[in-house]
Chains A and B, each alone.
Chain A
Amino acid sequence: AQTVTQSQPEMSVQEAETVTLSCTYDTSENNYYLFWYKQPPSRQMILVIRQEAYKQQNATENRFSVNFQKAAKSFSLKISDSQLGDTAMYFCAFMKHAGNNRKLIWGLGTSLAVNP
């Protein structure tokens, strides 16, 4: 079975600074997807960034980038130039690549506060 671990329940960062959120996972699969989702206080879950395990290059989306270490089963999220609107819960999630059932396996989340 797959598991996802986020060891930082809460983090804070000053506006305009950089913060890194950690995620580790366990799986015997070779091909899979990893995701970071953001859940603001309104509770709508929004996809931040996606990484495909067979790609060595780390994914980036504007101010968001990941550090994907497949051998270490580590998948951290870096947020650069933090903005007040980045305040939210951040969830790391795993999805198998094969098969029809693309259910997501989630970590417990990290609550990020961006301070002015």
Chain B
Amino acid sequence: GAGVSQSPRYKVAKRGQDVALRCDPISGHVSLFWYQQALGQGPEFLTYFQNEAQLDKSGLPSDRFFAERPEGSVSTLKIQRTQQEDSAVYLCASSSDRRSYEQYFGPGTRLTVT
């Protein structure tokens, strides 16, 4: 089926605005991951879901970051009161139960905070 999709692909926000980033994983994939990739850096883990349960949110940089996956499929990463340091590409990945070591990535959402 279709791969992982993310929307919007690009988002410009003024400092202080709230943003919501969406991830549609591959159908049937149990696990969903969010990563943050700053310019010129490698991705960094933010949070992980298994179905609707958020099992690890240790990578979220502050309480302004919030993620949910209420029905175990689509996930939303919300950033409140955006700051310039939040500017990055936000990558979503999903994996199946059988091949949990293999993550499939979406194209990312490039967030620019001005």
Contacts and interface: CB of A to CB of B under 8 A. Distances in A.
Interface of A: 4, 6, 33, 42-47, 50, 91, 93, 95, 97, 100-109
A104 B43 contact: yes
A100 B107 CA distance: 25
Interface of B: 31, 33, 35, 41-45, 48, 50, 55-56, 59, 89, 91, 93, 95, 100-103, 105-108
Closest 9 CB pairs of A and B: A106-B42, A45-B105, A103-B45, A108-B42, A101-B56, A44-B107, A106-B43, A33-B101, A102-B100
Contacts of A45: 43, 91, 93, 105
B26 to A, nearest CB: 14
Contacts of B42: 4, 6, 91, 93, 106-109
B103 A91 contact: no
A109 B31 CA distance: 25
6 contacts: A42-B107, A43-B89, A47-B102, A104-B33, A105-B45, A106-B42
Contacts, number: 57
Given A33-B101, A101-B48, A102-B101, A91 B107 contact: no
A31 to B, nearest CB: 11
Contacts of A104: 33, 35, 43, 45, 103
A43 B101 contact: no
Contacts of B93: 45
Contacts of A4: 42
B102 A43 contact: no
